[in-house]
């Protein structure tokens, strides 16, 4: 079996690592939270106590971490990937981070004789578990080709979208579109409820027309049942929209809806909904209409 390192076993990383194990890779993993390692350990993966130990003896290193500082620390830190990996090692970053930071890290990797591609994913926990994620890849064509089998073990749609940082830019666009979908869908749900309509038939009608979407399909039960166990947390989407607004500012691009969405999602975090699924943006619309429900009922 080919040995592969996987660093970060969160909601997305854990099922992705399990899918790599199922695909025949010998997965050597490291995570900061020991309990998150149990599914992979139970499946036969190897759990290492440090990044350096996880990297030893492998030529492919995968990262799936929450934010830009986490990736920078794992790569640049003491006993980090850049200082521990053998020359020629291919680093696949599945995290969602800033495009400019990705470009800088890829350059540092090249200077140390390593290769780094950005491969952020979309599809949520369900897609990670099923191995059907959409993977948006940035980097050199030869490096993407070398990573292809790994990428296809976790994703159904794998698209090389451009040079280093391009994957992160496309992921930022993805998160903007998803946030907009959830927000307007939440507003539509509140409008329908205020009209006294049965949500089931109403959403059936929406799903069958141009308003139909993957967001409606995947988040419908959350909205109807008012249950928001996290598949993708609002606080992470808040981070992603900060990446969106920073990227827009950097390029001098005006996007008024993006700015409004970033404000609404940040407000949801401020209101205590950060650890709920992003479909809980519905609660923000309910608050605006004095329909707020007890948060304990949603957890």
Q: What is the DSSP string of 40-53?
A: HHHHT-EE-SSHHH
- Is residue 40 within 8 Å of 47, Cβ to Cβ? yes
Classify 163 as helix, strand or coil.
Answer: coil
Please identify which of the residues 171, 219, 239, 293 carries the catalytic annotation: 171
- Dihedrals φ, ψ of 69, to 5°? -60, -35
| Sign of the alpha-carbon dihedral angle for 17, 21, 26, 32 | positive
Burial of 247 (0-12, 13-18, 19+ CB in 10 A): buried
To the query of whether residue 293 is one of the catalytic residues in this protein, the response is: no
Nearest to 142 by CA among 105, 98, 96, 88: 88
Distance CA 111, CA 121 (A): 26
Neighbours of 188 (CB within 10 A): 18
Residues forming the active site: 171
């Amino acid at each position: 079996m080919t040995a592969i390192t996987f660093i970060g076993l969160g909601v997305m990383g854990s099922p992705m690592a399990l899918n790599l194990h199922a695909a025949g890779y010998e997965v050597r993993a490291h995570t900061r939270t020991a309990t998150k390692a149990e599914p992979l350990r139970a499946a036969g993966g190897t759990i290492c106590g440090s990044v350096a130990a996880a990297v030893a003896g492998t030529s492919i290193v995968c990262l799936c971490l929450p934010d830009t500082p986490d990736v920078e620390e794992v790569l640049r830190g003491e006993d980090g990937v850049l200082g521990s990996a053998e020359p020629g090692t291919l680093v696949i970053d599945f995290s969602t981070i800033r495009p400019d930071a990705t470009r800088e890290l890829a350059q540092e990797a090249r200077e140390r004789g390593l290769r780094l591609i950005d491969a952020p994913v979309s599809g949520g926990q369900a897609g990670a578990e099923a191995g059907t994620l959409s993977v948006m890849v940035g980097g050199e064509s030869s490096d993407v080709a070398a990573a292809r089998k790994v990428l296809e073990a976790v994703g159904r749609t794998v698209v090389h979208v451009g040079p280093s940082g391009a994957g992160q830019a496309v992921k930022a666009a993805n998160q903007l579109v998803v946030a907009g979908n959830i927000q307007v869908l939440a507003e539509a749900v509140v409008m329908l409820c205020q009209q006294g309509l049965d949500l089931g038939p109403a959403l059936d009608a929406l799903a069958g027309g141009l308003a139909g979407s993957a967001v409606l399909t995947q988040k419908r039960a959350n909205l109807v049942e008012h249950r928001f166990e996290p598949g993708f947390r609002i606080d992470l989407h808040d981070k992603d929209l900060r990446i969106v607004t920073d990227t827009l500012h950097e390029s001098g691009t005006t996007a008024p809806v993006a700015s409004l969405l970033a404000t609404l999602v940040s407000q949801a975090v401020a209101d205590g909904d950060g650890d709920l699924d992003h479909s809980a943006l519905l609660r923000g619309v309910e608050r605006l209409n004095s329909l707020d429900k007890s948060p304990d009922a949603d957890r």
